[in-house]
Amino acid sequence: MQISLAQITPIWLNKAATLEKVTSYVDQAADEGSRLVVFGEAILPGYPYWLDATRASKFNDERQKELYAHYLREAIVLTDNSEEVRRSASLLNSDYQSSKAGGEAKVAVSDLAGLCALAKRRSIAIVLGCIERALDRGGHSCYCSLVYIDGNGSIQNVHRKLQPTYEERLCWAPGDGHGLRTFPLHGFQFGALNCWENWMPLPRAALYGQGENLHLALWPGCKRNTEILTRFLAREGRSYCVSVSGLMRRSDVPKEIPHYEHIIEHFPDSPSDGGSCVANPDGSWLLEPQVGEEGLYTVELELEYVQRERQNFDPAGHYSRPDVTKLTVDRRRQSTVEYLD
């Protein structure tokens, strides 16, 4: 199977403009014959780099409130037919529409509708790192979500990052286990995690247990992470490991964002340097880390390579002892409210 890694710089904190850029890379990957294109963590509308540059831990700071409100407005909204989402959508979205179909109202709003249509038209699957404004949690918190759109244009999975890392906790809410799933794709079974989730042994085990043989690791962009962990994950899982990163430089901060002057004063020259790469199931490099430049990187994956490496180690099969150690995973979507009416 041929896949593409899209290492791009977002139009930072601008959802519409970044979506246009993502669309162009999806088209390019489809033109090259790829069956899957993968983007980095939080690429839409961008990673919260301002946190480290603006003393974001200061409590009740007006500047942080304004930046968070801007981030929330630029986060994506996804459709859901649950009652609590319909109720929230009607309040939070000016373009909310509902129609009676078989007696049930359906939410007709989704920021990724155009991307889904493109995936269907070009018969290409997409894995995209997003900031999600989750209507099923009230619509006022940001989640670092990983969205899988299949080649038929359907959103098959939304995985919300289980544990935001360090300063990320100042603006991202913790997710749940609902998205810890794998999916078939042209002979492979792939799963995906965000950034430092890839260091968490038990979520990795949850994916191994579902037959994962292609692991996607999404990053904001840092070679020091991808060059260490990508080969390890491939070797541990005896799977292909594909790490996809973003890029960000000081010159990429748009002047239109709130508090531009304050942010740019303390912004590092290059907080994200890329590092997208691919490791083979034996831990060797298929694509070494790509640093400092945007680009679409395309590789060919061979299922037999996985099968050969499983001969002496299969983490959820012959080299496991479920009678001794076993993992329980709660994949229910968590909520603070259960409606009984």
Query: Annotated active-site positions, please?
Result: 41, 161, 195
Please state, in angstroms and rounded to a whole number, the distance separating the CA atoms of residues 132 and 275.
24
Q: Are 214 and 183 in contact (CB under 8 A)?
A: no
Packing angle, helices 223-237 and 201-208, rounded to 10 = 40
Packing angle, helices 113-122 and 15-31, rounded to 10 = 10
According to DSSP, the β-strands at 272-279 and 285-291 are antiparallel
3-state secondary structure of 291: strand
Which pairs with CB-CB distance under 8 Å and at least 24 residues apart come from 314-319? 314/238, 315/205, 315/208, 315/236, 315/237, 315/238, 316/205, 316/208, 316/209, 316/211
Name which of 192, 249, 200 is nearest 221 in CA terms: 249
Say which residue the tokens 């792939």 belong to: 190
Q: For the chain, give me the number of helices (H) and strands (E)?
A: 9, 15
How open is the CA angle 108-38-120, to the nearest 5 degrees?
45
Please state, in angstroms and rounded to a whole number, the distance separating the CA atoms of residues 273 and 288.
14
Residue 118: Cβ within 10 Å count: 19
Kindly state the tokens that stand for 145.
């979500």
Residue 259: Cβ within 10 Å count: 17
Q: Are 192 and 218 in contact (CB under 8 A)?
A: yes
